[in-house]
Amino acid sequence: MSRTRTWPRMVALTIGALAFLFPFYYMVIGSLQPKPDTSLAGAIPTHGVTLHNYEQINERVNLVRSLVNSGIFTGGVILFTLVFGVLAGYALARLHFRGRWSLFAIMLLVQVVPFQLLIIPLYVMIVRNYGLADSYMGMILPFAINSTAVFIFRQFFLALPEDLFAAARIDGASELRILWSIALPLVRPALLTATLITFIGPWNEFLWPFLVTKNAALQPLAVSLANYISNIAGRATNPYGAILAGAVVLATPAVVLFVAFQRHFTSSELGSGVKG
């Protein structure tokens, strides 16, 4: 490929990427403006910057409390996924047991059932029957084990050479010991990729925690910010500034995580999903 032919492509790709990033830039700029400025010039902060918008939203939405709630919700889901997902992925990949293929088929089927469509029966079960409204457990339960993560674990365990397992068995290692001391250390990259993928779900989820939590002290940030947008933003001096300040706080952890660990969120890590 000659040099002259690659650079128009680079220019197009770069312009596209900047268009994708612009709303994020605008989010940060808008959150620092003392007054909303929607003109083109408003995209460049000329009137000075202020943290007033952050104070404004923090008066209405306890940002720290909401972030902690988001963290507990997301952390709980990641913990359940890592513990039970690894066990299930290992069993599905390396152990011959009855029901293995039916479980695998059901796992694939689950990915086509749109989750939001189950909200009515889940609401009936979790909120009405089990009384788990306004609790972390009620929030976590429907997301507890991420099936995509189980699938990734399975693909990674499947890729390990059989000889390794045969040798360990001859040495008399138990199956659990093989999983813990031999297989698990070899699939460490899968743990990180699965954690990243699992993180996106609960951290960004709105509908389910919105249904389950009526108590503001338990609401994750996505829910409290959405409530702020639809109910009380009008009372702030710069409502857009305050909303954007909340948006920056909600977006930052996810963006930082994915930029820092971008190596573990690439097509080759996810590729097994397409090939499998």
Partner 1 sequence: MPTATVTLDHSGPSTPPPQHRRRRLAAVFGRQPLGIALAAPYAVFLAAVFAYPLGLAVWISFHRYFFAAPGAQVARPFVGLDNYKAVLSDPAVRQSFLNVVEFLVINVPLTVVLSLLLAYALNGAIRARTFLRVAYYVPYVTASVAVVAVWLFLFNSGGMVNQLLGPLAPNPSWLVNSALAMPVIALFVTWKQLGFFILLYLAALQNVPKELYEAASVDGAGKFRSLMNVTVPGVRPATTLVVIVATITGANLFTEPYLLTSGGGPDGASASPVLVMYQKGIEQGNPDVASAIGVILVIGVLVISLINRQLLERD
Within residues 114-143, the interface with partner 1 by CB under 8 A covers: 114-125, 128-129, 131, 141-142
Crossing angle of helices 52-60 and 239-260, in 10° steps, is: 100
Q: Rule CB under 8 A: which of 197-226 touch partner 1?
A: 200, 203-204, 206-207, 211, 222, 225-226
Q: Which is nearer to partner 1, 107 or 186 (CB)?
A: 107
Q: Would you put residue 146 in left (φ > 0), alpha (ψ -120 to 50) or beta?
A: beta
DSSP codes joined into one string, 194-239: HHHHHHHHHHH--HHHHHH--SGGG--HHHHHHHIIIIIGGGSSSH
Q: Which of 145, 158, 173, 232 binds partner 1 (CB under 8 A)?
A: 145
Q: Which of 61, 63, 92, 183 binds partner 1 (CB under 8 A)?
A: 92
Q: Which is nearer to partner 1, 50 or 123 (CB)?
A: 123
Q: Which of 150, 190, 212, 218 binds partner 1 (CB under 8 A)?
A: 150
Is position 51 an interface residue for partner 1 (rule: CB under 8 A)? no
Tokens describing residue 29: 């700029």
Is position 235 an interface residue for partner 1 (rule: CB under 8 A)? no
Per-residue burial over 220-255, b = 16 or more CB atoms within 10 Å of its CB, e = otherwise: bbbbbbbbbeeeebeebebbbbbbbbbbbbbbebee
Q: Which residues contact 192 (CB under 8 A, 6 or more apart)?
A: 261, 264
Is position 38 an interface residue for partner 1 (rule: CB under 8 A)? yes
Q: Which of 34, 168, 173, 265 binds partner 1 (CB under 8 A)?
A: 265
CB of 217 to partner 1, least distance (A): 19
Cβ-contact 80, 139 below 8 angstroms: no
Q: Which is nearer to partner 1, 27 or 186 (CB)?
A: 27
Residues binding partner 1: what is the number (CB under 8 A)? 100
Residue 99, phi then psi, degrees to nearest 5: 95, -5
Q: Rule CB under 8 A: which of 59-88 touch partner 1?
A: 84-85, 87-88
Q: Which is nearer to partner 1, 87 or 186 (CB)?
A: 87
Is position 164 an interface residue for partner 1 (rule: CB under 8 A)? no
- Site string (181-200) toward partner 1, x via CB under 8 A: -------------------x
CA 82 to CA 58: how far, in whole Å?
33
Helix (H, G, I), strand (E, B) or coil at 126: helix
Is position 108 an interface residue for partner 1 (rule: CB under 8 A)? no
Q: Which of 95, 108, 164, 166 binds partner 1 (CB under 8 A)?
A: 95
